[in-house]
Amino acid sequence: MRPLSFLDRDRTVAGAGFSRWMVPPAALCIHLCIGQVYAFSVFNLPMTRLLGITAAAPGDWRLTELGWIFTLAIFFLGVSAAVLGRWVEEGGPRRAMFAAALCFGGGFLVAAAGVHLHDIWVVYFGYGVLGGIGLGLGYISPVSTLIKWFPDRPGMATGMAIMGFGGGALIASPLSVWLMGRFSTPEHVGVAETFVVLGIVYFIFMMVGAAIVRVPAPGWRPAHWTPPVQQPKLVTSANVHVYRALRTPQFWLIWWVLCLNVTAGIGVLGQASAMSQEMFPGKVSALAAAGFVGLMSLFNMAGRFLWASASDLIGRKSTYFCFFVLGTVLYALVPTTGATGSVGLFVLCFLIIISMYGGGFATVPAYLKDMFGTRYVGAIHGWLITAWSAAGVFGPVLVNYLRAYEVARGVPKADAYNLTMYLMALLLVAGFFCNLFIRPVHERHHMPVARGDATLLVQ
């Protein structure tokens, strides 16, 4: 027997009586771990004083150098999801989860060595490159499996997993702070030890997911469910090959839908604390702003599950219409909340906006499944993740530079975000039209149905 043959797809086919409700926890094992990336900033300040301990000393790393760790990780997340998506799809979820655990857990260990040696390039390679590849593999690994297990509720199923990505930061942030506190001494900042513990814990946690994940047997379908005879117009029962999908306008329209929705959300997500304090001087303290950011994380996570579940009822296209229409109205309302000093309305606007930001991530795999079928949905999703990488650049740049431009023009700080809010609303209007133009994929792009493949179509 080949070593590691237990990772093969055919070794993960579920036996009779396997409950599909075991699969979401398997997916969550992965996403709760890799969601740690959103909490990486808790290491930034401690890593600026590895030599000086209480304060930065000559030779200590600067924040600008450390910022590249997160940027590299997100970049390699996008690249690996796109390039390795087909390998993930064809090799099965267990192999991908195993590789993700090795890369993500191993990345932490390499980064720990980098911190210990005080070599930033080793940290870049460890967390940025290796960890980033683990992020990409882990992010897409359970998606198509969940869709196949839950053909009746694909939005809810992928929403559950992607909710885990939002929830991962909620766990990682206090856990990392607690671990650093345990390992720190008056002569030493406990970052390297924290990385080692996190690397081992995340590896084990992700391996549990790899062990319990299963793919459904060919022809399996949920009890009491039959595929609808008359599918909604935008839902196909055919399959489109990943490379064929990239040549369809539908793929690129959905790419822009995701990119614009994420750009609008990600820009304010990073600036929420500063924005709330500057728009309401004297009313929102730094501590209250931190609480506001915490609430935003919760709504980001909850929105992933709730909006994606709702999309099973109202349809994917309608769900994105909600994001774009409601988002436009709310962004346009934000300057008014500042002008009237209504902190409560401001908070409410952003909590709804950020729930739709998370919802956009969680609903898109089911949108792809509707348009391109289940066969290569994981690989197609991998390519779509590049929209996130692009938005990760556009969003913060737009918010930061527009604010700086307004302040330089002499606009008071409290009003400096107004132009940005209107621009975000405009981006969402553009997203509305991209979504509007999405039509079913032409039959010429469909894969031929081979004998024996027919069963796949009902999954």
Query: Which residues form the interface with another protein (CB under 8 A)?
Result: 14-22, 25-26, 28-29, 32, 164, 167, 170-174, 208, 212, 217, 219-225, 287-288, 290-292, 294-295, 297-298, 301
CB of 197 to another protein, least distance (A): 14
Nearer to another protein, 223 or 450 (CB): 223
CB of 413 to another protein, least distance (A): 22
- Select from 213, 218, 241 the least CA-distant residue to 95: 213
CB of 354 to another protein, least distance (A): 13
Terminal alpha carbon distance of the chain? 31
Nearer to another protein, 292 or 432 (CB): 292
CB of 192 to another protein, least distance (A): 23
For residues 92 and 8, the answer to whether their CB atoms sit within 8 Å is: yes
Residues 6+ away with beta carbon under 8 Å from 126 = 106, 107, 108, 109, 110, 111, 112, 113, 114
Query: Which of helix, strand or coil describes residue 329?
Result: helix
CB of 377 to another protein, least distance (A): 21
CB of 115 to another protein, least distance (A): 24
For residues 346 and 276, the answer to whether their CB atoms sit within 8 Å is: yes
> What is the C-alpha separation between 173 and 182, in angstroms, rounded?
14
Question: What are phi and psi for residue 188, nearest 5 degrees?
Answer: -155, 135
For residues 237 and 61, the answer to whether their CB atoms sit within 8 Å is: no
Token code pair at residue 308: 């994606």
Nearer to another protein, 216 or 431 (CB): 216
Query: Which of helix, strand or coil describes residue 185?
Result: strand
Position of tokens 């330089």? 408
Nearer to another protein, 22 or 313 (CB): 22
Token code pair at residue 193: 């030890």
Strands (E), 158-248: none
Nearer to another protein, 231 or 455 (CB): 455
CB of 24 to another protein, least distance (A): 8
* DSSP labels, 129-141: IIIHHHHHHHHHT
Nearer to another protein, 17 or 448 (CB): 17
Nearer to another protein, 127 or 220 (CB): 220
> What is the C-alpha separation between 458 and 72, in angstroms, rounded?
40
Nearer to another protein, 25 or 270 (CB): 25
CB of 361 to another protein, least distance (A): 17
Residues 6+ away with beta carbon under 8 Å from 95 = 7, 8, 9, 88
Nearer to another protein, 113 or 295 (CB): 295
Query: Quick one: 353 exposed, middle or buried, by C-beta within 10 A (0-12, 13-18, 19+)?
Result: buried
CB of 34 to another protein, least distance (A): 13
